[in-house]
Amino acid sequence: MKKNIVIIATGGTIAGESNSKGYDSGVLTVERLLESVPQLSGLAEFEAIQFCNIGSQDMNFSTLQKLVQLIQEKCDRTEIDGVVVIHGTDTMEESTFFCDLVIDTDKPIVFTGSMRPNSSLSADGPLNIYNAVLAASSEQLHGYGVVVCLNGEIHSARTVLKSHTTSVGTFISPVSGVIATIVGNALFCQSKYRRLRSPFIRSQLQDLIPFPRVDIFYGYTAMNEDLIEYSVSQGAKGIILAGMGNGNVNKSVVDCCVRLAAAGICVVRASRVANGPVVRNLEIDDSLCGFVVSGNLSPQKARVLVMIALQTGVSMNEIQKLFYELG
């Protein structure tokens, strides 16, 4: 029997159309996108919803909270087998991680998009949509949490990283590798990875309370700390350092962040390096400084976790534990 899949479109390059210079994201409707994949009707029954139509660089957390509510509502219906979300690739890492932390279901939730606009030669969108519906219909993906499906590969929201500005094979999962590969109509699971239980499940569904401001600062040679101080003076409650190597920053930035941590700001050391964890107390004494380390989470995912943790009142002492458990 065919599975029932809900397809929710939010925009992105996949819904893009060429203009005289390049292309505009988020132009085509979900109906137009699905017309380019007539093979879908042989695969699943589906309901298509146009949720919004934006480039994902314009995604924000109140829109994401509403998207979470919609996905949860669909997953709670017994007749629904899985959900596909069509989304721009630029912020897919953050959106999928956010959804993964708060949605309560074992059903597959599969984000897809494309790197080439719909009107381009050899557009990758139609096959990505087909594969995403295949993945959302698959029993094999139950319990894996939110995943990203592009270029015939399936990645966990926890591990996925956009690694190339334009290539169709942009998504990678450093260290852990892919969950599964799709060839034709077959899904080959390569990982035993199972979703870790998040303490935030359903916590963002009721109230659309604004999130606290958390800013990311990129590390570089002779980094200056004054913008970090400015960000806190403007209300930031969390600072994510995309530090060098194992999350390192120069002494003046460390000193500034020690002062901020003592004043109750959540300071997280993440890394500008794409591969490998940030380890505690190596060159910087995090225990003494009052810092948190991001473990396996990239700066952009560390920011999502800190925003949710601070909004739900998690204590500073608990935040490091969360990174170890969820990263």
Binding site for ligand DGL (CB under 6 A): 12-13, 25, 55-57, 88-90, 113-115
**Which are the catalytic amino acids?**
13
What is the distance between the alpha carbons of residues 74 and 205, in angstroms, rounded to a whole number?
A: 13
> b/e per residue, 243-278, with b = 16+ CB within 10 A?
bbebbbbbeebbebbbebbeeebbbbbbbbbeeebb
Q: Which is nearer to ligand DGL, 110 or 261 (CB)?
A: 110
Q: Which is nearer to ligand DGL, 165 or 315 (CB)?
A: 165
Q: How far is the CB of 164 from ligand DGL (least distance, A)?
A: 11
Quote the tokens at residue 75.
Answer: 């997953």
Q: How far is the CB of 23 from ligand DGL (least distance, A)?
A: 9
What is the distance between the alpha carbons of residues 109 and 103, in angstroms, rounded to a whole number?
A: 10
Q: How far is the CB of 95 from ligand DGL (least distance, A)?
A: 10
Cα angle vertex 190, ends 45, 275, to 5°?
Answer: 110
Q: Which is nearer to ligand DGL, 114 or 137 (CB)?
A: 114
Q: How far is the CB of 169 from ligand DGL (least distance, A)?
A: 13
**Cβ-closest residue to ligand DGL?**
88
Q: In 3-state terms, the chain is what percent helix, strand and coil (to 5)?
A: 30, 25, 45
Task: Give one DSSP letter per residue of 61-83, joined into a string.
Answer: HHHHHHHHHHHHHHHTSTT--EE
Q: Which is nearer to ligand DGL, 88 or 243 (CB)?
A: 88
